[in-house]
């Protein structure tokens, strides 16, 4: 376990998820540190995305607890359902297979992310309908925040293009920017580097590091790309067959024989990637 309680943002304890007879996640416990980048790795089918879906409320865990610490307050995520996790607990996520709103522009995607703030400002639509100045000011702030993130991911010039028309790498970054527009405390990224080339992957590293440094957002990520995991993670949790088999710094994990065995058993290429990824 890394750090003491005040230092952690997320505490997963004895998390178990069963689908019928299949145990996808079995008594998994780990912590994610505040202002830290925690990586969840493991071979295909290890149950990583299931853990994510439990944390972000898409699945209801069979048993176990998931605690999110906001200052002194603790929120039991396993008791909140779907949208409340993003709205009240401020946990944002991206998806393995990008889920943007393809028919809406990049800017609109980021505006939708600020829905709850804008809904309040629009007086549940009524103030907005009559064009109240307070709503207009809020809308302008929302556009400014969106523009800020579009600049940050280098898509300002394409703000008015449909999200579905953007190149794959841009879509990945836009999805992260959209999650950031909800101003989350914890950002969960499901394989953010999947399908990216080396250059895009490096740019992603930079973006995530700057999010941690400048926004102070804690990040939890699932990743197969070891160059990303090893380079930016502060803490790595390794899963196999639904259980945790190792955790520690990237260095510790890389040298752990159990990890190497798990990857060797699953996929030779990935095992080699783990072993060869220096720095």
Which stretches of the chain bind another protein, using CB under 8 A? 49, 53, 56-58, 82-87, 92-93, 95, 99-105, 107-108, 111-116, 118-119, 122, 125, 128-129, 143, 147, 156, 159-162, 164-165, 178-179, 182
Least distance from another protein to the Cβ atom of residue 257, Å: 33
Looking at beta carbons only, is 85 or 228 nearer to another protein?
Answer: 85
- Compute the least distance from the CB of residue 91 to another protein, in Å: 9
- Residue 181 in tokens: 């527009």
CB of 43 to another protein, least distance (A): 20
Smallest distance from another protein to CB 143, Å: 7
Nearer to another protein, 56 or 201 (CB): 56
In order of 10, 30, 186, the CA distances from 76 in angstroms are 10, 15, 14
Distance from C-alpha of 248 to C-alpha of 91, rounded to nearest angstrom: 23
Looking at the Cβ atoms of 165 and 251, the one nearer to another protein is: 165
Task: Return the number of the residue (19 or 258) whose C-beta is nearest another protein.
Answer: 19
Residue whose structure tokens are 């603790």: 74
Name residue 38's beta-bridge partners.
220, 235
| Smallest gap from residue 88 Cβ to another protein (A) | 8
Between residues 131 and 257, which has the closer beta carbon with respect to another protein?
131
Q: Kindly tell me which of 93 and 235 has the beta carbon lying closer to another protein.
A: 93
Q: Which CB, 28 or 118, lies closer to another protein? A: 118
Query: Least separation, in Å, of the C-beta of 77 and another protein?
Result: 13
Q: How far is the CB of 57 from another protein (least distance, A)?
A: 8
Print the SS3 string covering the chain: CCCCHHHEEEEEEEEEEEECCEEEEEEEEEEEECCCEEEEECCCCCCHHHHHHHHCCCCCCCEEEEEEEECCEEEEHHHCCHHHHHHCCCEEECCCCCCCCCCCEHHHHHHHHCHHHHHHHCCCCHHHHCCCHHHHHHHHHHHHHHHHHHHHCCCHHHCCCEHHHCCHHHHHHHHHHHHHCCCCCEEEEECCCCCCCHHHHHHHHHHHHHHHHHHCCEEEEECCCHHHHHHHCCEEEEEECCEEEEEECHHHHHHCHHHHHHHHHHCHHHHHHHHHCCC
């Amino acid at each position: 376990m890394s750090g003491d309680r005040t230092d952690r943002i997320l505490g997963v304890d004895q998390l178990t998820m069963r689908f019928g007879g299949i145990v996808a996640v079995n008594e998994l416990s780990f912590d994610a540190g505040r202002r830290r980048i925690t990586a969840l790795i493991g071979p295909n089918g290890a149950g990583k995305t299931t853990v994510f879906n439990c944390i972000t409320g898409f699945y209801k865990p069979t048993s176990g607890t998931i605690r999110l610490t906001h200052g002194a307050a603790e929120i039991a995520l396993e008791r909140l359902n779907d949208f409340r996790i993003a709205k009240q607990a401020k946990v944002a996520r991206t998806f393995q297979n990008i889920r943007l709103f393809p028919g809406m522009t990049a800017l609109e995607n980021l505006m939708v992310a600020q829905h709850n703030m804008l809904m309040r400002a629009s007086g549940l639509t009524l103030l907005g309908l009559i064009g109240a100045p307070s709503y207009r000011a809020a809308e302008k702030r929302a556009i400014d925040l969106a523009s800020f993130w579009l600049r940050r991911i280098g898509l300002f010039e394409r703000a008015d293009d449909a999200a579905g028309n953007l190149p794959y790498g841009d879509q990945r970054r836009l999805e992260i920017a959209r999650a950031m527009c909800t101003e989350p405390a914890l950002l969960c990224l499901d394989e953010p580097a999947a399908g990216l080339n080396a250059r895009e992957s490096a740019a992603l590293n930079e973006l995530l590091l700057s999010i941690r440094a400048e926004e102070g957002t804690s990040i939890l990520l699932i990743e197969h790309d070891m160059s990303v995991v090893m380079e930016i993670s502060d803490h790595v949790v390794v899963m196999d067959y639904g259980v945790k088999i190792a955790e520690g710094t990237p260095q510790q994990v890389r040298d752990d024989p159990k990890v190497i065995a798990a990857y060797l058993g699953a996929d030779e290429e990935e095992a080699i990637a783990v072993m060869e990824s220096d720095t």
